[in-house]
Amino acid sequence: MSKRLSRTESQELTRAKLIESATRLYLENGYVATSTDQVAEAAGFSRGALYSNFRSKEDLALAVLDAHTEEQFQEIAAVAADLPPERFTRFETWLTKSMGDRRWALFKSEVALSARANPELRQQLAARDQLARQALSVLLGHVEAESGNPLPAAPETLARAILALAKGIAIEGLVDDEVSPDWIIDLVKKGLPQ
């Protein structure tokens, strides 16, 4: 006989299933085109279950972004833990993957556009962007310290520039299949001390 889940465990499982379903639907159909009813139904729950876990569609979108960002932070941490020769190869792989996933670019763009009229969502997105810049900045600081050569700009400035370029390339890729992240990777390679 299986152990019965506690209320907290059951709620965590429900929340995880809702985030998983929302992620799949947002990436397949887009954020704007996906309703909370569709997410609840895909997860096998009622609309009430969704709203007992998330205050709004925007709150659910932030949870999806948080889960994705956590994966990216783990990848950046793994890159930072590598020894210098392997580190850049892993960084290149991470950057290519980040820029190449057009579904995530579209989802993030749609959420950002909806934040235009929602100051709370805009603040939440800005805070998440700041965390991503900090994580990349730390990695760039390691590169600078280990190489003994200065970066072309402060790690924080480079992190902002790299992430902005990555977002731009990903968005361009939504309308132009010929867009490739290769040139930005070459640019980063030339700019970072090896």
Query: What share of the chain has pLDDT > 70, as a percent?
Result: 94
Mean pLDDT of 134-160: 87
Tell me the range of 79-83, 96-100, 166-170 where mean pLDDT is highest: 166-170
Q: How far, in whole angstroms, is CA 56 from its chain's centroid? A: 20
Q: Which of 5-14, 30-39, 177-186 has the lowest mean pLDDT?
A: 177-186
Q: What is the pLDDT of residue 15?
A: 96
What does pLDDT average to over the chain? 87
Q: How many residues comprise the chain?
A: 194
Residue tagged 């939504």 (tokens): 174
Rg (CA), the chain: 19
Count of C-beta atoms within a 10 Å radius of residue 53: 20
Q: Which domains does the chain have, with CATH numbers?
A: 1-54 (1.10.10.60), 57-191 (1.10.357.10)
Check if the beta carbon of residue 193 is closer than 8 Å to that of residue 144: yes
DSSP letter, residue 70: H
Mean pLDDT of 134-143: 86
Mean pLDDT of 54-80: 89
pLDDT band at 57 (very low <50, low <70, confident <90, very high): very high
- In sequence order, the 6+-apart residues with CB closer than 8 A to the CB of 45 are 14, 17, 18
What are the pLDDT digits (tens) for 115-132?
Answer: 999 999 999 999 999 998
Helical packing angle, 36-43 and 57-81, nearest 10°: 70
Count of C-beta atoms within a 10 Å radius of residue 87: 19
Mean pLDDT of 161-172: 85
